[in-house]
Amino acid sequence: MLPPMASEAPKERRYWAGARLAPAAPALLTLLVAIAIIASGRGGPSEATDQDIYHLVVIRGMVDQWPAIDVVNYPSATSPGYHALMTLVAVATPGEGSDLLAMRLATALLGALVPALAGLLAARWVGPWVAAALAAPLAVNSYVLGGAAYLTTDNLAYALILATLAAALARPAPAAGVAGGLAAAALVAVRQVHVWVVAPLGLAALLASPLARRLPGKWRFEATRWSPLAAATVGVTLALGVLGAFVAAWGGLTPPSDAAAKHAMGPNPASPAMALAMFAIAAIPLAWAALPELRRGSLRWTLAGGAIGLASALATPTSFELKRRAYGWVWTVVRETPAPAERAPARADITRQLANLTPPGFLATAPWSALSRYPVYFAAMRERLSRLAGAERRDAELQAQVRPFEDAMIRKAQEHAQRGIVDPELERLRWMIEEFRVSLWAQKLGTAESVSGPRLEKQWAKVR
């Protein structure tokens, strides 16, 4: 059921007058905490790693190309909007270290937009300060704070999602459709995966059009005009056009770079179950509001929806994969509950390892010392799979020891390729990582040299 919208212009003016300041409180909190983290110089969280080995590399490359930046061949799996924006900030603040500080402060401001926009959106249906209280958890959310303190695309994407949804839920008007379309187009330019926002934008306009007259009143706005639908159609077309332009330039849904390879493994059938689970978690606080609907005879629809959700969850094997971001109460519950149909993330990791070992022309480019060890590497993969049943959590822990080194190595290799750098120390690190995998999963096969996490860290320090 769509929330009721105010109809009186004075009430609309009072809403904006009262709501302007309230969301500033959680937004200011996010900004201050992010600035404190930046000033401390601390690293460590996954967002800091993403900044250093992913986003900063892309931005530095675009700074070198300025003003003719390449938005097709760059080492990222996402649209280039955020990186292009940070490139502009970096170019405007030249100087050793000062450009990075300016980019992080700009990202902190983008992070503060998330609770601010959430509060403004909530204030349409509750009082301004209640809305601010509802937005407060976002202000101290670890993902929002991490994305505000370090260079990541997340918070700009969140802010544009909220802006698009605000336009979809606003009073039906052509301006709202156009504004929502512009926000959606900007969002697609930052994270192409969020093209889904065109659905609520178009649906809201459809429910406000004469086409919705046959629906029950609670499913449509009172006013039924064609102009909001026409404006929203233009906005949706604009967003889809941006995505289409990128797809045509990239030759697919991601840029043609090695960084996107891990996203090019085909559709993941576990996605519907994941999406439904996240929606259910978010809806838990709102469950009480659904009770009156159950009493009015919609129980059968609720049961049908639950059956669909249960079927999607059981149809595809799923699993918990240990990652550095797996913290918080949700992941604690997931980690401690069983996976009835184990998806085994190990198989995806082995697929990735095989792709890294056997790129086109690997027989001509890999040194003989490494090629002679391939049978050992393949045997280690088989050994790992043979021991996987019942030991999925232990396997994930071992994988977490390898993944940071491998991600850093791949990112550095892409950076070197862009700049024409040949670094023997990086090549040595690559094969040390393969030996490290053997030591973790098939120690009885033996390694070509002594290798461990600390030894990999020492080798990484030698890489240019």
pLDDT tens digits, one per residue of 63-108 = 999 989 998 888 888 899 999 999 999 999 877 667 889 999 999 9
Q: Which domain holds residue 388?
A: 345-462
- What share of the chain has pLDDT > 90, as a percent? 23
Angle 179-197-270 from CA coordinates, rounded to 5°: 170
What average pLDDT does range 53-59 have in this prediction?
Answer: 87
Domain count, the chain: 3
Q: Is the pTM of this model over 0.85?
A: no
Q: Which of 143-152, 190-199, 358-367 has the lowest mean pLDDT?
A: 358-367
Q: What is the dihedral of CA 151, 157, 158, 164, to 10 degrees?
A: 160
Q: What is residue 285's predicted lDDT score, i.e. its pLDDT?
A: 63
Which of 311, 336, 361 delimits the end of a domain?
336
What phi and psi values does residue 53 have, to the nearest 5 degrees? Answer: -100, -5
Q: Which of 233, 259, 285 is the last residue of a domain?
A: 259
Within 10 A of 119 (CB to CB), how many other CB atoms are there? 28
Instruction: Looking at the structure, tell me whether residues 57 and 154 fall in a common domain.
Output: yes
Q: Exposed, middle or buried: residue 411 (CB in 10 Å: 0-12, 13-18, 19+)? A: buried
Same domain, 220 and 310: no
pLDDT computed for residue 5 by the predictor: 44
Residues 203 and 312 in one domain: no
Residues 352 and 446 in one domain: yes
- DSSP β-bridge partners for residue 342: 318
* Angle, vertex CA 177, rays to CA 282 and CA 10, nearest 5: 85
pLDDT score of 6 = 41
* Residues 39 and 113 reside in one and the same domain: yes
Q: Does residue 232 surpass a pLDDT of 90?
A: no
Distances (CA, A) of 317 to 334, 339, 400: 15, 8, 21
Q: Same domain, yes or no, for 196 and 296?
A: no
| 317 — pLDDT class (breaks 50, 70, 90) | low
